[in-house]
Copies of this chain bind each other. A is one copy, B any other.
Amino acid sequence: MTTGRLFLVPAPLDFGCAEQAPLTDVLPDLTLRQAAALQHWVCENAKTTRAYLKRVQAIYPLPCALQDMAITELPREAHKKGDHVGASSFDAKPLLKAALAGHDIGLVSEAGMPAVADPGSSVVRAAHELGVPVLPLVGPVSLLLALAASGLNGQNFAFVGYLPQDAVDRKKRLQDLEQLAHKTSQTQLFIETPFRNAALWRGLLEGLQPQTRLAISYGISLAHGGHFSQTVKAWRQSHPSACPAGDLPAVFGLGR
């Protein structure tokens, strides 16, 4: 019997947004066809996965009824912010049982590419350990769309996840990242829970040096989205208090 494969299936970036774009705007035909062929899924949230599959089904027929799909959620331990199996914590091998029984499995995230800026990497690692072939499919990756649109250095960059919530710790962390960006030319990308965008924005304009370049992308891949990039000095003049993203999911970047 041949082992099944683990497909990394990207999701659109518009879940939870008022506006939804057609799946064909952000997913290539091959991704849609492969997604439509799978019956076994590992995900963060079964409900959004079913909603996603319903949108896929409007384009390609699924192999079975939605309620008959085998959808398994990642365990709670996997969801801790910044968690990575290297440290830690939970064994994802049981989630791949169907692959060992010969079925292809789809790993899907809440938005964008699974295992990037989300807890899926433990599943991918388990696949490698079990000899299950891993096949990433093409789709939107908010971090990289933001990086490309920032005009910041794309030949050396880092994504560092979330900054500390505590204002003092955040200021220290920001200064470290800024120093690194100035010293090494490495662009520093980070994200924030949308309802904290405003607090982060104040922290950025207060804490960063005027000549540092600060980029923000929000509503990525959507019609109301935007990509802006200028020096902190210019931001202080144009947007002294309100974060341009409002409370939309955003990606922030700083560099020189």
A: residues with CB less than 8 A from B are 8, 21-22, 24-30, 81-84, 86-87, 113-122, 124-128, 133-136, 138-141, 143-161, 185-186, 213, 220-221, 227-230, 255-256
Contacts and interface: CB of A to CB of B under 8 A. Distances in A.
A127 B141 contact: no
Contacts of A151: 115, 121-122, 124-128, 134
A252 B228 CA distance: 31
Given A124-B151, A128-B151, A256 B86 contact: yes
Contacts of A213: 86
B118 A155 contact: yes
A56 B171 CA distance: 47
Given A25-B138, A121-B150, 18 more contacts: A8-B149, A25-B28, A26-B138, A28-B28, A86-B153, A115-B149, A119-B155, A120-B148, A121-B148, A124-B148, A124-B150, A124-B151, A125-B151, A125-B152, A125-B229, A134-B149, A134-B151, A160-B186
Given A124-B149, A140-B138, A141-B141, A154 B28 contact: no
A149 B122 CA distance: 11
Nearest to A30: B25
Residue from A118, A154, A213 with most neighbouring chain B CB atoms (10 Å): A154
Contacts of A227: 133-136
A144 B146 CA distance: 13
A220 B127 CA distance: 18
Contacts of A134: 149, 151, 227
A230 B128 contact: yes
18 contacts: A25-B29, A26-B138, A27-B28, A29-B29, A84-B185, A86-B185, A114-B148, A116-B144, A117-B154, A121-B148, A136-B148, A136-B220, A136-B227, A138-B139, A141-B141, A141-B144, A156-B159, A158-B159
Contacts of A145: 113, 136, 138
A81 to B, nearest CB: 8
Contacts of A29: 24-25, 29
Given A8-B148, A145-B138, A185-B84, A155 B24 contact: no
Contacts of A83: 155
